[in-house]
Amino acid sequence: MRDVLGEVVITGKSKDDRLPLVSVVFLAYNRREELLVSLHRMLIDSGYPPDQLEVIVIDNASVDGTVDAVRSEYPNVQVIVNSCNVGASGWNRGFAIARGEYILILDDDAYLRPGGLERAVNAAEGERADLVSFSVVSSSDQAHRLNDDWQTGLLSYWGCAALVSARALRALGGYDPNIFIWANEVEFTMRLLDHGFCHLYLPDVYAIHMKERIVEFDRRRYLVNARHHGYIAGKLMRRTDAAAIVWHVAQHALIDSLLHDRMAVAAVKEVLVGFRTGLRHRDPVRPVVSATYRRNFRPFAAPRQFMRSPLERVSPKRGAETADSQRAERYAEYFSERAGFYPPGQASLQL
């Protein structure tokens, strides 16, 4: 509502308690229609005070009319066009000009449910958190959390939607341009925790991702992740931890080539290529951060933790169970033993 001077006042708050300015930074690439939906959801339906929202779209050289459509339908939205597709580091141009105390990072096909942004900001203020991550669901199946398909816990986040403080982005400089896409969130979170910042997981805030669930083995994603995990090990991990991670990722590749797709063996080369590149940009994190990831980030784990024992393979008692269900039990045990890093409810981490 407006007071007698015509200023916008947030109901239930004094002017001194007004919600902080938030910069919503979208990264767009050839998803014109999805982006227009996401813009509407955040500008019109979010419930956040419009005068406390700054919206920026970074376009990664789309060829589907994205830029013209945004400028036509949302003339108050800032649009910056990259000359080529630079991947996730395209967000950095938006981070550089954002004026908000907090920056909401969004894919062009993602948005928060109404009220979610205000809850996230209030939680960040209350917990002094510099990274807030959410529950993520597919727009086609909002009953199933994508976080359960790929558990990031407090050691990473789903990159389609996250809230980051401006002070953290000033300290970290945004996403590493050497990671085009996938695993950029892990690298960013490691550096964030290394700087002593706090990551808050807020599962009661939902991000809607206009994508189908990935249920089949994705060869390209698998190989790219292997390369980037090798890069992260070479760049950020302590030497002993880095060597262990490269070995573990290579072992996973050999096993997955037998279980899922024979092309997974190519990930052995990819992790070594990534590791060599990471060494050229070496900037290791504190030992406690490196050790935490080696021991607790699932893609870095030794594969033997998830393999069936010889007894399970031959025991009649286990005969009714499939190999997949037995491996699923191993994964459940892994996450259960590390509930502090993979919490079922709201939790935070600061190292």
CATH assignment of the domain containing 78: 3.90.550.10
In a shared domain, residues 100 and 227? no
In a shared domain, residues 297 and 158? no
In a shared domain, residues 102 and 158? yes
Residue 313 lies in a domain: no
Residue 59 lies in a domain: yes
Residue 331 lies in a domain: no
Last residue of a domain, one of 160, 189, 209: 209
In a shared domain, residues 253 and 196? no
pLDDT at 118: 98
Nearest-10 Cα torsion for 25, 21, 110, 150: 100
What value does the mean pLDDT take over residues 100-124?
A: 98
In a shared domain, residues 200 and 238? no
In a shared domain, residues 147 and 245? no
Residue 161 lies in a domain: yes
Residue 7 lies in a domain: no
Residue 341 lies in a domain: no
pLDDT band for position 143 (cuts 50, 70, 90):
confident
In a shared domain, residues 274 and 182? no
pLDDT at 341: 98
Domain that holds residue 264: 219-306
In a shared domain, residues 178 and 36? yes
pTM of the model: 0.91
pLDDT at 170: 96
Which residue would you say has higher pLDDT here, 16 or 86? 86
In a shared domain, residues 155 and 67? yes
Tally of structural domains, the chain:
2
Residue 264 lies in a domain: yes
Residue 235 has pLDDT above 60, yes or no: yes
Would you tell me how many other CB atoms lie within 10 Å of the CB of residue 116? 25
In a shared domain, residues 179 and 31? yes
pLDDT digits (tens, 9 = 90+) for 157-214: 999 999 999 999 999 999 999 999 999 999 999 999 999 999 999 999 999 999 888 7
Give the C-alpha distances (Å, rounded to integers) separating 124 from 45, 118, 128, 131, 343: 21, 10, 5, 8, 17
In a shared domain, residues 231 and 122? no
Last residue of a domain, one of 268, 290, 306: 306
pLDDT band for position 10 (cuts 50, 70, 90):
very low
pLDDT digits (tens, 9 = 90+) for 30-65: 999 999 999 999 999 999 999 999 999 999 999 999
Angle at 17 between CA 16 and CA 18, to 5 degrees: 95
pLDDT digits (tens, 9 = 90+) for 280-336: 999 999 999 999 999 999 999 999 888 766 565 555 555 545 667 877 888 999 999
In a shared domain, residues 109 and 184? yes
Residue 283 lies in a domain: yes
Last residue of a domain, one of 191, 209, 227: 209
Residue 106 has pLDDT above 90, yes or no: yes
Least confident of 11-15, 121-125, 138-142, 339-343: 11-15
The whole-angstrom separation of Cα 48 and Cα 32 is 24
What value does the mean pLDDT take over residues 132-148?
A: 93
